[in-house]
Structure 1
Amino acid sequence: MESKNYQICTKCVMDTTDPKITFDENGVCSHCQEFEEVTSKKWFPNEIGLKKLESIYKEIKKEGLNKEYDCILGLSGGIDSSYLALKLYEAGIRPLVVHVDAGWNSELAVGNIEKIINYCGWHLHTIVINWEEMKDLHLAYLKSGVSNQDVPQDHVFFASLYSFAVKNNVRHVMSGGNIATECIFPKAWEQGAMDSINLKAIHKKFGKRKLKSYKTVSFFEYYFYYPFIKKMSVVKPLNYMPYIKDEALEELKSKIGYVDYGRKHGESIFTKFFQNYYQPTKFGYDKRKPHLSSMIVTGQITRSSALEELSKPLYDENELNNDIEYFCKKLGISNDEFNELMKVPNRDYRDYKSNQFIYKIMKKAQEFILKITGKEVSRY
């Protein structure tokens, strides 16, 4: 049902829970306009894309000659990375496959990863994050009151992946990130996962133990060392092929026996809980809205079916109670302590020290270089 309290886009399902959203005279939101004017120009779900992808793969294979691997692939067990793995296998790409275990894998995720690896005949490298450090960082973030509680997981995933790529002399990072399901996301809801300055500031204020083995990526490493010194590049193959989520899921089911999680990011118990309870309850952010809106503008679903999906509860009551119990037990806190953490005043991540100042300087420098030379220097 469309709420009377919010203005909702007449084309997608984004609404004024995004405080920066604007609408034209026809009620079409700024997200839809940006997709049409900017994002769609970078999306090639057609023959043009397949030719571009063929060229990319050819170059990757050429560089991989006489090497054990052509590229590196982070495999979470989610649909995006799993489908990408299947397509890489079918294209004859030889990835170094890495899974980062931060302690929140669902049993289904473990099973799906195993099925993918067995089907492709690949070897899986699993990096296990120190749980005591991970737990301390999770609790620090909960105490901080910021919206993106997934930063501790996301940051160490990328940090571990990049570090492992350099160690194994691999420079192409294959990403399951895609325009088809992720092209719309409110900037007001964002908090970059790669801001190690912010992560360390939050942990210093609220953490209780040193992060001795937890890997981080500095601003210099992320924006200069990896892309320019080590010549690493992030490739998103799903943007160069027709990627229809439902069809991809059915293909995974039929070919490898993949089991559906029933919701986006269901492979991680933490992400599932954080996106479907913590954020909607504390901040009013329902991540189904940008996800469904992305699928509307890319022609995968209708607006009416998206509205029907949004009318369903985010959680079954029994499932929610079970997940809260598991969440508390995993983090070593009581239900009362969890309830108190849910009452922590909401804060913007910029309330803590961050890389925003130096990031803005870098962006201005990039714009200046682009204006003078006509060359894009960003690799991200």
Structure 2
Amino acid sequence: MTAYQVCSNCVMDTTDENISFDADGVCDHCHNFRDHVAPNWHTDERGEAELMAIAEKIRADGKDREFDCILGMSGGFDSSYMLHIAATKMKLRPLVFHVDGGWNTQVAVHNIECVVEKLGLDLYTEVINWEEMKDFQLAFFKSGVPHIDIPQDMAFIATLYKFAAKHNIKYILNGTNYSTECVRNPLNWIYYGTDMAQLKDIQKKFGTVPLKDYPISSILYHKLYLRYIRRISVIKPLNLGPYIKADAQELMSREYGWTPYPQKHFESRFTRFYEGYWLPARFGYDTRKIQFSSLILTGQMTREAALDALSRPAIPVEEIPHELDFIATKLGITTDELIGYRDMPLKSHRDYKSNEWMFNLGAKALRLLGVERSIKR
């Protein structure tokens, strides 16, 4: 068994089974950022010029349409701040698109309404069939894998992309960014959400409700059909300008009354439970290590502050019984059944059918073509 080790520069550690370290104890996530991401990430006048050129093209292409782009808004901070940038800096007319998967927190609903209303934009909400969502999520619990948030993520992504394709909206604004996400989730923590072979295998083995209305979308649909056949572009505005999260949060609170969350992704009650409790308790994976390491590498957090925060659980211990009861009740099972899933033998994506080889091949091809930057998983 590999001895436990934590990076001497960030806080990633050997809970990432593929991590490696140099002679100084610095991990490959840090080297990958410094060698491949940072040199090609321009937040100065070059990024500004690119952002404004993109904005001008989107406005020109959409001048005779009701909306010139679409923006998926979860209520999380990245999408909220991106909406601010899109509307005020880029001068775009986005359709704000929200997918209700049944796990919204009241704070998330409040944040969405505050920003959308002040900007005078239209909000479109698509509600996922709850019985199908619930059964699909339970199938992932029963499978024993770590990546039980995939049913929710898939619903959000597939619904947004299919709506854009159906209504011929050529630009999708995406909040993914290097500033807070330059370190990616290791594959043994969170597997590819668009691997249809894996999703279908888990649903076939453990699901009880046919997915008639639930939206499913493959990687080929995203990366090939939409991009090259339908000519739909995914734009990431937060990569083309300075994005210091603390400063941006102060701005959003001042301008919109935006309320912060205790942790990234906690706008969803399910993701709060999953990342704040389930992954650490069942697998020993703490997604704060990824989030904090990203902030360390981009100069927004010290390693000492990250280690101090990691010394405390994301969700206080005294709140866990209530969390278990809430999630179990929402899913229509008993708390004992949920605890049973927590304590069952550990599984990984390798225990089920997958197209991992295709993802690896595609990622390599996109990196060689310069379409996507190299971010290790």
Residue 138 of structure 2 corresponds to 139
Are positions 1:86 and 2:63 aligned together? no
Q: Structure 2 matches for 1:177-196, cutoff 5 A?
A: 177-185=176-184, 186-196=186-196
Query: Contact 1:76–1:267 (CA<8 Å) still a contact in 2?
Result: yes
Q: CA deviation at 1:379?
A: 11
* Pairing 1:32–2:46 present: no
Confirm whether residue 337 of structure 1 aligns to residue 337 of structure 2: yes
1:63 to 40, 61, 64: 61
- Map of 1:7 onto structure 2: 5
Whether contact under 8 Å (1:184, 1:293) holds in the other structure is yes
In 1, Cα distance between equivalents of 2:364 and 2:16? 26
1:378 deviation in Å? 7.2
Displacement after TM superposition at 1:187 (Å):
3.9
In the alignment, the residues of structure 2 paired with residue 331 and residue 162 of structure 1 have an alpha-carbon distance, to the nearest angstrom, of 27
In the alignment, the residues of structure 2 paired with residue 96 and residue 242 of structure 1 have an alpha-carbon distance, to the nearest angstrom, of 24
Aligned residue in 2 for 1:102:
101
1-structure distance, mates of 2:360, 2:274: 29
User: Residue 189 of structure 1: CA displacement?
Assistant: 2.5
Q: Which amino acid aligns with 1:66?
A: D
Amino acid at match of 2:152: Q
How much has 1:366 moved relative to structure 2? 6.2
* Distance in 2 separating the partners of 1:359 and 1:21: 19
Equivalent residue number for residue 328 of structure 2: 328
Q: 1:361 to 1:89 in 2, by over 3 A?
A: closer
| Aligned partner of residue 134 in structure 1, secondary structure | helix
Is the Cα–Cα contact under 8 Å of residues 36 and 373 in structure 2 kept in the other structure? no
| SS of corresponding position for 2:161 | helix
Partner SS for 1:211: coil
Assess, with a 3 A threshold, how the Cα gap between structure 1 residues 162 and 119 changes in structure 2: closer, same or farther.
same
Cα deviation, 1:213-258, whole Å, max 9, x if unaligned, reads 0011134322321111111121111111111111111111000001
Deviations 1:6-38, CA, capped at 9 Å, x for gaps: 321111111111121111111111111110000
The equivalent residue for 1:149 is 148
Aligned to 2:157: 158
Look up the match of 1:41: 39
> Is 1:316 the counterpart of 2:316 in the alignment?
yes
TM-score, normalised with respect to structure 1: 0.93
Offset of 1:316 from its aligned partner?
1.3
Q: List alignment gaps of at least 5 residues for structure 2.
A: none
- Cα offset for 1:362? 4.7
Would the alpha carbon gap of residues 365 and 86 (structure 1) be closer, same or farther in structure 2, given more than 3 Å must change?
Answer: closer
Q: Which residue of 1 aligns with 2:18?
A: 20
1:118 and 1:289 mapped to 2: Cα distance? 35
> Where in structure 1 do 4 or more consecutive aligned residues deviate above 3 Å?
357-367, 375-380
What is the aligned counterpart of 2:72 among 71, 74, 80? Answer: 74
* Cross-structure match for 1:125: 124
Letter in 2 for 1:344: M
Other-structure match for 1:282: 282
Corresponding position of 1:250: 250
User: Matches of 1:325 and 1:338 in 2, distance apart?
Assistant: 9
- Offset from partner CA, 1:176-232 (integer Å, 9 cap, x none): 111111111234423011122211210110000101100111343223211111111
Contact map agreement 1:197 1:218 (CA 8 A) in 2: no
d(CA) in 1 for partners of 2:114, 2:87? 13
Amino acid of the structure 1 residue aligned with 2:179: A
- Aligned AA for 1:279? L
1:78-136 alpha-carbon deviations (Å, 9 max, x no partner): 01000001111102111111000000000110111110110110110000000000000
Offset, 1:303: 1.0
Q: Within 2, Cα distance between the matches of 1:232 and 1:330? A: 36
Q: Is the 8 A contact 1:72 1:165 kept in 2?
A: yes
Stretches of structure 1 that go unaligned for 5 or more consecutive residues are none
* Structure 1 counterpart of 2:305: 305
Q: Across the two proteins, how many residue pairs are aligned to each other?
A: 370
